[in-house]
A = this chain, B = another copy of it.
Amino acid sequence: MSAILSRTKAADDLRAFSRSLPMALLKAREAVMARFRPLLREHDVTEQQWRALRALTTVEGLRAGELARLSCISMPSLSRILKTLDKRGLIARSSEDSDQRAVNIAISDEGRRLVARIGPHSEQRYADIAEAFGARRLEALYAELDALTSCLAVDGEIPLPDED
């Protein structure tokens, strides 16, 4: 019976372990990304490269720090990613006149074409997810995720974009 008891205890602990918030978020993200990764891979861009390019299509001429915040990529990673995107001719970098430290980044025509090629497919996959899970339900999940994020945000932290 000790065997049974310990087995039961193990099962309970396991359930507790599986009920970890970071892991729940990780699994959900992984499930979502599984729908996008093949598409991005077909076009030889990584998830992060895609996020950066996508952000660059929304605002012309971003500074590195701004891009990092918008695309949720850490500066060290972004620094490497920009090097790659630059080599591939998908972006252009230029230093700012008013502040020589700053780097201005703009998407190139080729980068824009790449986004234009991938974009529609990405939107389609996104629509598939919304349909499978329920559009309304998905909106509610967004709201809860945003709430959790801002609820846990420390003062010095990056806030969510204004929801005016």
Nearest CB of B to A65, in Å: 16
Nearest CB of B to A49, in Å: 14
Instruction: Give the CA-CA distance A154 to B32 in the complex, in Å.
Output: 11
A residues 1-48 near B (Cβ < 8 Å) are 10, 13-36, 47
Q: Does A63 contact B (CB under 8 A)?
A: no
Asked whether A18 and B70 contact (CB < 8 A) given A32-B152, A141-B144, the answer is yes
> Interface residues of A: mostly helix, strand, loop or mixed?
helix
Q: In the complex, are the beta carbons of B142 and A10 less than 8 A apart?
A: no
> What residues of chain B lie closer than 8 Å to A137, measured between beta carbons?
144
Partner of A24, one of B10, B142, B151: B142
Q: In the complex, are the beta carbons of A129 and B144 less than 8 A apart?
A: no
Asked whether A153 and B10 contact (CB < 8 A) given A17-B55, A18-B70, A129-B21, the answer is no
Copy number in the complex reads 2
Q: In the complex, are the beta carbons of A22 and B29 less than 8 A apart?
A: yes
Q: Does A116 contact B (CB under 8 A)?
A: no
Asked whether A25 and B32 contact (CB < 8 A) given A132-B151, A133-B148, A148-B133, the answer is yes
> What residues of chain B lie closer than 8 Å to A17, measured between beta carbons?
54-55, 58, 70
> What residues of chain B lie closer than 8 Å to A75, measured between beta carbons?
none
Partner of A26, one of B27, B29, B140: B29
Nearest CB of B to A161, in Å: 5
Which of A57, A70, A148, A161 has the most chain B CB atoms inside 10 A of its CB? A148
